[in-house]
Homo-oligomer: A and B are copies of this chain.
Amino acid sequence: MKKDNSPARGHRDLLPDDVQTRDGLLAAISGVYARYGYRRIETPALENIERLTRGQGGENEKLIFRVLRRGLPPTIEATTPTDSLVDLGLRYDLTVPLTRFYGQHAATLPFPFRSFQFGPVWRAERPQKGRYRQFHQCDIDLIGEPGTLAEIELIEATVEALITVGVNRAVVRVSDRRFLAALAATLGMVGASADSFFVTLDKLDKLGWSGVREQLVLSGLAHGGLNRIEDIVDTLVATRPEEIPNAIADAVPALADHVIDDLNHTLRAAAAIPAMGDDAATVTFDPTLVRGMGYYTGQIFEIGHADSTSSIAGGGRYDDLIGSTMGRSVPACGFSIGFERIVDLVTLSAAPTRLALLAEPGLDPIRLAALARGLRENGPPVVVIPVRGKWGTQLSRLEEEGFTSYMHVRPENLDGTLNHEERPLRRP
């Protein structure tokens, strides 16, 4: 009887063409990152549940797939706390595991350490079109570098990776959490209320100023000072790149000089990447850029693209996270490519050349294998397929399946005295 063979709800299978595209993208991105000295590491999919629920993941922590302890009895007694049944969870990002990894292996790793990660993460999100509960993240992180060398390198490497896979005209937006904090402070907002201010400001592109204003007033965060914020942001958005540092210093006098110098360094160096010159990418200061996660401490960046409604890469400096499990301070900066979004942006590579060896029944298996072996040696992939059904139908199907040529193997041409003729399948 035919049964339902769908994947679990919110999940998907990857067919050969899907995997080929993804493998190609990964190889190209890996190649770029390797030239910058980033080396790939891997951590397990499962982490202890306490590690995943320390607040670092924000809203994502509500979406964890939790794993039942082994050895539980067949029946759970009444009034058992659900949490007590769980000891592991599937990771929801690659940053929590990286923090654990670095804390565990720092002594045997280079310093500074350039980490590249590519792997699946899981979130029990409401299934929706084009978004899945298992998806891949692609992160590079530079751990141990306190200066803008990190930010500059991460931006250049990521832009180069995007261009290498054919994603052109990316827009890199840069800001700094310390700039945002100083901006909030001018309105008297510090700590938690500054955080809420950031979250609302982050929605400016969706809500517009009137919407942002409304939300801020509703949440009792801001009143009279809002005009000033709006002015500052509008002014900075209209400022030419080379005048940004002075404009920021004028607008937010409380901001430390070294923060402005760092921003200046990053913006100038990013603008000097050759790709920026020929319009393959652009870089800009964005005073409304916030980034969701709470752990950023310095510069933040995001890459957008006209063909993608959400950002295609994002990252920033997070100096307090890695050291939090190590009893000492370790600066760190990271950039994550939204791998699934890139997959949607790029076009499929052409199907490879493939030869079908159409074998008549009853051929000597040793000779048939030897023929295939010889053709395979320096040629395209060779696939042995028994002749079956109508000849024309089989040839049409092979063509549909992506074969580019075939060879008809009969007993009389397997003895080595006759030439085997390779015929094209694709119509010219």
Contact = CB atoms under 8 A, between A and B. Distances in A.
B65 A66 contact: no
Interface in A360-383: 365-366, 368-370, 373, 376, 381-383
A74 interface: yes
Copies in the complex: 2
A19 B45 contact: no
Given A45-B134, A82-B73, A149-B384, A326 B2 contact: yes
Contact of A370 (B5, B153, B272, B370): B272
Nearest to A402: B110
Nearest to A76: B80
Interface residues of A, number: 102
Counting chain B CB atoms within 10 Å of each CB, which of A8, A65, A90 scores highest? Answer: A8
A15 B108 contact: yes
A263 to B, nearest CB: 12
B37 A13 contact: no
A181 interface: no
A428 interface: no
B82 A79 contact: no
A234 B134 CA distance: 52
A369 B83 CA distance: 50
A134 B86 contact: no
B7 A43 contact: yes
A223 B76 CA distance: 46
Contact of A41 (B16, B43, B265): B16
A104 B7 contact: yes
A322 to B, nearest CB: 11
B70 A381 contact: no
Contacts of A78: 76-80
Interface string A54-78: 0000000000011110101111111
A373 to B, nearest CB: 8
Contact of A15 (B2, B105, B327, B402): B105
A2 B327 contact: yes
A319 interface: no
Interface string A334-345: 000000000000
Interface of A: 1-3, 5-8, 11-16, 18-20, 23, 34-37, 39-48, 65-68, 70, 72-83, 85-86, 88, 90, 100-101, 103-105, 108-112, 114, 120, 122, 124, 133-134, 145, 147-149, 152-153, 156, 265, 268-269, 272-274, 325-327, 354, 359, 365-366, 368-370, 373, 376, 381-386, 397, 401-402
Given A5-B100, A16-B109, 15 more contacts: A2-B327, A3-B326, A6-B104, A7-B100, A14-B41, A36-B383, A37-B381, A65-B88, A66-B67, A68-B85, A75-B79, A76-B79, A76-B82, A110-B401, A149-B359
14 contacts: A7-B44, A11-B46, A13-B43, A13-B105, A15-B105, A20-B40, A36-B382, A45-B90, A46-B134, A65-B67, A67-B68, A76-B85, A110-B402, A149-B365
